Chains A and B, each alone.
Chain A
Amino acid sequence: MPRGAEIIDRLAPIAELPSVFYEAFPMALIDLKETPVREANELIRQYGAVGEDVEIVNPDARHHLGVGLTEEISVRIRGSAGYFCAGLTDGAYFEVDNNVGWGVGDNIYRGTVVVRGNAGAIPGVAIRGAEIIIHGNMGSRAGQVMKSGTLCCAGNANFMAGYMMYGGRIIILGDSGENVGEDMSAGDIYVAGKLLSVGSDAVQVDVLPSELDSIMEFLDRYELKAKRGDFKKVNNAGKKLRYGKTEQQVRSIPFHTFSGKCDYWGPKVQEDVWVKSQIGRYRIRGYGGARTLPHLSDLAFRSDLSTIGDDPHVVSKVSMNTRIGGKHGANPLDLSMPVLIAPMSYGALSRSTKQAIGIASSLSGIAENTGEGGMSDAQRDAADQLIFQCLGGRLGWNIHDMKRANALEIYISQGAKPGFGGQLMAKKVTKELAEIRGIPEGIDLRSPSRHPDILGADDLVIKVQEFREATGYRLPISIKLGAGRIHDDIKIALKDGFDFVELDGMQGSTGAGGAEVMEYVGIPTISAIVGALDGLAEIDCAGEIQIVLMGGLRDGIDAVKALCLGADAVAFGTSAIIAGGCIACMQCHVGQCVTGIATQDPDHEKRYNVSVEARNIHRFLEVVRWQIAAITNALGYKNVTSLCRDDLVALTPEAAEITRLAYEPGYRDSDRNFSESVGLG
């Protein structure tokens, strides 16, 4: 089969268009009968770089056509396109002669897509400013989590148009389908045909003459017709955007008291009952589960480590360099030790805090993670290696930041609150933060718990491929899994072609979550890693996908135990922010963090000294490095990859049951002595 580049040819003028058009604007031709999509997308970008328009023939509904294009050229597709046509693009003009599959124009920043036929589900998903015109009908959940721009359908729309939209407008010239505007936060939906029903927290309102002017101008521009008088408008009803009552400020109970053993009707219980009596709903707080649960501290090293000593050179004696994410040929993360920073969002944390963590990660030669809510320039500049996380709300997600990331991560869930989306209280949704996320200012943000385009493993594989196509297969792609049915989920992660897994147990923290969820929903971190490894072993794929374990890991001792259990690396979230000044008051959700960490209030953020805290976090990470090296060395190894389960025993029956390690309570004393000498005691 000839290579794509060899068969590309300048088109002879086509009969229906004046030949002067082609003489002035020559188009490159790509024939998908001969050229694989991956190669075609590379070519489209190359033509884009020299400003040449592209025509695609024999598309035959193939997926991912044109994704990742950031040049202002036009792309004409002579037939049907598959999923995510024109997705993750900025500035281009796409025209499709026939139908498109799911997610046309996914996350477009600016640009235009004209579809002459029908569109499948979620057209215009997460767009940030495009104009998408569909001449035929469109599928369900049109414009899900869109932020701005216009999605216009000349035919009929299906079920739940405008589901969870944050802004922009949807214009439907035909009938609407049911539940229009279900759980929308903002934006406008106009329907000229029959408005079947409005969704939860949506309401039909009057259309203003100025809006009609704007709609008619838009329709004129795309040669579409509708009667001005026919339009009905749907908006957010405003009943669910904010919690009815704000939780009052109470004297905080410090974490160590909060999580300790207290009397039956202790201060923690009394406070909880009293606050609920005032607000009439579940409570939100920061941090993670505070019950006593099986954890890495219930495991001990089998060897006598009393001779560990304080050799300052031990770090140079143990090989710790770790590469993560190269299994499919992407550029792996290159870590000086098997440690990463856990994903924490700019939003939950202040810009300054993310900057300090980024600097510390660079100083220690490890990788930082954006968490939800986008990438700031300060963070990108600070971190040498940065993972960019994509969540269901697509808040702050865009092609430009994807391209400047070192790895991409699809968040499915979080250990502290598996199955739930992120929460960010109104106080923290400032103008600046709302802008980067593309959402209305000052709402109690409850991020979607599901991705619009990932409703199963079969959709997920197409999503992963979209990211690879958009970034030219350069970047590792990971999946963040809050442990739930990890035994099965890890198999999906492997089969769907991810490069590594970030696995999170319930001892992990969060910036805001339902208190009951954090205490009672997740799976302990040691169960998570054992379950994941069992799942892989069951399908004879042990070791075929790297696992980064997180979820309440405190220091290098916990890190080594995690590596012994079978993790390839670990990630620290809470201990990194404590190293940078956090006092563990658990009021992260309130937005008035006294240390300037969990706040978006400039007055509070002023208290945070970036360079000082960056040094503090770096120093902590270096202690972690020393701990990992010293323990590995004392166990008799020269390389962290030699650590294994035989190095561990279980100190409690529960931990033994979960890990299938030998129950050896006799090690309790030596473990205590050892922890006091090298650890946090």
Chain B
Amino acid sequence: MCGIAGLLFKNSDYHSGLGRSLIDMLDGCQHRGPDSTGFALYGPSQRGRLVLRFLVGEGRGAEKAISRIRSVLSEQQARIDEEYNVGGHFRVKVSVDHDIRAFSYAMEQAAQVFSIGESLEIIKDVGGAHDVDALYRVHEFEGTHGLGHVRLATESDVKPEAAHPFWATGFSDVAIVHNGQITNYWKMRRRLERRDFEFRTDNDSELIAVYLAEKLSEGVSLDEALETSIQDLDGTFSFLVSTMDEIGYAKDKLAAKPMIMYETENLVAIASEEVSLNRLFPGRALDTHEPPPGTYATWRRDNRPVGPNRRAA
């Protein structure tokens, strides 16, 4: 139960307003989810090096987790290039030459992994957009695109690890945010588990991330993965997905969850409610567009949209 937001700058290299813009968009729809807030931000690519973000908590627990992380990194023969600890998070930049899935499953022995990627960083915690920003300085983040999410916890606890965005565990640079409920969750999860994919939560939104990542790893385009997701996932959903170069959306056939978008030559912005889009353009009447039910679309950086929103076959 939540609000979602996504933003992609089409042309500019690294936009200094990325973090600030997503904070504004989420603040605009914070009423949809006051419990926790999260961001998936895409900064400059580390070209072969990976940024890892962990949840380590605070105090003695954090110290222990960090030392565990260092020791697993050394077992994995990963060289630490940079590290820091902020709030309950630990961020580390490493050089490693490994299969990412095996590496990330190994890293999870040390601490809860929020994200791994050459460019993706997931920052999420309990509280509102401004609370999370105050702790993690999201507004300073420069980048090309990103997603955001505000959450009202219904079944699972209010904990940082239950917050969105969800990283597709084992797949670098893939993240999703989701509003709705996947009703064939267990069926789909078992299908993926039979193929050795691991799940870290019982949250139905994590399924979407793993589902899409699996498709991408088979060489399917993001566009095609979204198309099949509308057929394969049951329930109500409006979700956004991002990779290193793209963002996309998919909307269920029942149109049960809101989603609205605004596109110009320079950017595409998508949110649960128009009030979030207007936060980017105060005082302006925007020519917005509500994606029809059962449709999906993707946009790439430095490119025109792959196509107008299309209907899943």
Residues on A lying within 8 angstroms of B by beta carbon are 33, 57-58, 60-63, 78-80, 82-83, 97-99, 101-102, 117-118, 120-121, 137, 139-141, 158-159, 177, 455-458, 461-462, 465, 488, 491-492, 495-496, 539
29 contacts between A and B (CB under 8 A): A33-B283, A58-B282, A60-B275, A61-B275, A62-B275, A63-B275, A80-B278, A80-B288, A82-B274, A98-B286, A101-B274, A117-B285, A118-B288, A139-B290, A158-B290, A158-B292, A159-B292, A455-B257, A456-B236, A457-B154, A458-B1, A458-B3, A458-B33, A462-B31, A462-B32, A488-B155, A492-B1, A492-B154, A495-B153
Given contacts A140-B293, A456-B257, A457-B1, contact A60 B288 (CB under 8 A): no
Which chain A residues lie closer than 8 Å to B279 at the CB level? 60
Q: CB distance A61 to B179 under 8 Å?
A: no
Report the minimal beta-carbon distance from A241 to chain B, rounded to whole angstroms. Answer: 24
**Which of A98, A121, A158, A455 sits near B236, CB closer than 8 Å?**
A455
Give min CB distance, A138 to chain B, whole Å.
9
CB contact under 8 A between A461 and B32, given known A102-B258, A118-B290? yes
Name the residue of chain B whose CB is nearest to the CB of A460: B1
Q: Which residue of A lies closest to B180 (CB)?
A: A456
CB distance from A285 to the nearest CB of B (A): 31
Q: List the B residue with the shortest CB-CB distance to A461.
A: B31
Do B285 and A79 touch across chains, with their CB atoms under 8 A apart?
yes
A33, A102, A139 pick with most chain B CB within 10 angstroms: A139
- Would A79 and B284 count as touching, CB distance under 8 A? yes
Q: Are A97 and B285 in contact (CB under 8 A)?
A: yes
Assess the A61–B277 pair: CB atoms within 8 A. Answer: yes
B88-128 interface (Cβ within 8 A of A): none
Contacts of B254 in A (CB 8 A): 159
Q: List chain B positions with a Cβ less than 8 A from chain A.
A: 1-3, 31-35, 152-155, 157-158, 179-181, 236, 254-258, 260, 272-275, 277-279, 282-290, 292-293
Rank and list the top 10 A-B pairs by shortest CB-CB distance, nearest first: A98-B285, A61-B274, A60-B278, A457-B1, A140-B255, A458-B32, A61-B275, A79-B285, A61-B278, A458-B1
The interface residues of chain B lying within 8 Å CB-to-CB of A488 are 154-155
Listed residue (A61, A99, A101) with the most chain B CB atoms within 10 angstroms of its CB = A61
Cα-based distance from A150 to B279 in the complex (angstroms): 33
Given A82-B274, A456-B180: A60 and B282 interface contact (C-beta under 8 Å): yes
Contacts of B256 in A (CB 8 A): 455
A465 and B31 contact, Cβ closer than 8 Å, known pairs A61-B278, A101-B273: yes
Contacting residues, chain A, for B275 (C-beta < 8 A) = 60-63, 82, 101
Return the contact of A99 from the options B155, B179, B274, B292 (Cβ within 8 A).
Answer: B274
Q: Is the interface of A mostly helix, strand, loop or mixed?
A: loop
Given contacts A458-B2, A488-B154, contact A61 B236 (CB under 8 A): no
Complex contacts, A102 vs chain B, CB 8 Å? 258
- Check A539 against B274 for contact (C-beta < 8 Å): no
CB < 8 Å: which of A57, A101, A159, A461 contacts B152? A461
- Report how far A491 CA is from B288 CA in the complex, Å: 34
Quick one: given A102-B258, A457-B154, are A83 and B282 in contact (CB under 8 Å)?
no
How distant is the Cα of A102 from the Cα of B29 in the complex, in angstroms? 14
| CB nearest neighbor in B for A465 | B31
The minimal Cβ–Cβ distance linking A461 to chain B, given in whole angstroms, is: 6
Residues of A within 8 A of B236 (CB): 455-456
- Residues of A with C-beta under 8 A to B282: 33, 58, 60
* Given A62-B275, A158-B255, A120-B180 contact (CB < 8 Å): no
Most interface-central of A60, A83, A118, A139 (chain B CB within 10 A)? A60
Q: Which residue in chain B gives the minimum CB-CB distance to A485?
A: B155
Contact B283 A458 (CB under 8 A): no
Q: Which residues of B contact A57 (CB under 8 A)?
A: 283
B273 close to A99 (CB less than 8 A) = no
Docked complex Cα distance between A291 and B293 (Å): 44
Bound-state Cα–Cα, A137 to B287, Å: 12
Task: Report B-chain residues with C-beta under 8 Å of the C-beta of A117.
Answer: 285, 287-288
Taking CB as reference atom, which chain A residue is nearest B156? A488
Q: In the complex, A458→B272 CA distance in Å?
A: 10
Complex contact A159–B273 (CB within 8 A): no
Quick one: given A58-B283, A488-B154, A495-B34, are A458 and B290 in contact (CB under 8 Å)? no
Question: Once the chains are docked, how many angstroms separate the CA of A449 from the CA of B140?
Answer: 47
Give the residue name and chain of the B residue nearest to A538 (CB).
B157
Chain B residues in 8 Å Cβ range of A491: 153-154
- Complex Cα–Cα for A462 and B289 (A): 21
Question: Chain A residue with minimal CB distance to B33?
Answer: A458
B2 touches A60 (CB 8 A): no
A120: contacting residue among B152, B157, B260, B286, CB under 8 A: B260
Other contacts beyond A57-B283, A141-B255, A539-B157: 14, CB < 8 A: A58-B282, A80-B285, A99-B274, A99-B286, A117-B285, A140-B255, A158-B293, A455-B257, A456-B236, A458-B1, A458-B2, A461-B32, A488-B155, A491-B154
A238→B272 CA distance, assembly (Å): 37
How far is A101 from B254 in the complex, measured between Cα atoms in Å? 17
Distance of B235 from chain A, by nearest CB (Å): 11
Check B258 against A121 for contact (C-beta < 8 Å): yes
* Minimum C-beta distance from A489 to chain B (A): 8
**Which residues of B sit under 8 angstroms from A492, Cβ to Cβ?**
1, 152, 154
Q: In the assembled complex, which residues on chain B have CB atoms less than 8 Å from the CB atom of A141?
A: 255
Chain A residues, CB < 8 A from B33: 458
The answer to whether B286 and A80 have CB atoms under 8 Å apart is yes
Output the residue of B157, B274, B277 with the most chain A CB within 10 A: B274
List, in ascending order, chain B residues with CB within 8 A of A58's CB: 282-283
Please measure, in the bound complex, the distance between the C-alpha atom of A458 and the C-alpha atom of B1, giving whole angstroms.
Answer: 5
Q: How far does the Cβ of B175 sit from chain A's closest Cβ, in whole Å?
A: 20
Given A158-B293, A456-B1, A83 contacting B257 (CB threshold 8 A): no
Using CB atoms, name the residue of chain B closest to A98.
B285
CB distance A121 to B255 under 8 Å? yes
Question: How far is B254's CA from A73's CA once the two chains are assembled, in angstroms?
Answer: 37
How far is it, in angstroms, between the C-alpha of A82 and the C-alpha of B276 when the chains are bound? 10
A62 nearest CB neighbor, chain B only:
B275
- A65 CB to closest chain B CB, in angstroms? 11
Contact B255 A139 (CB under 8 A): yes
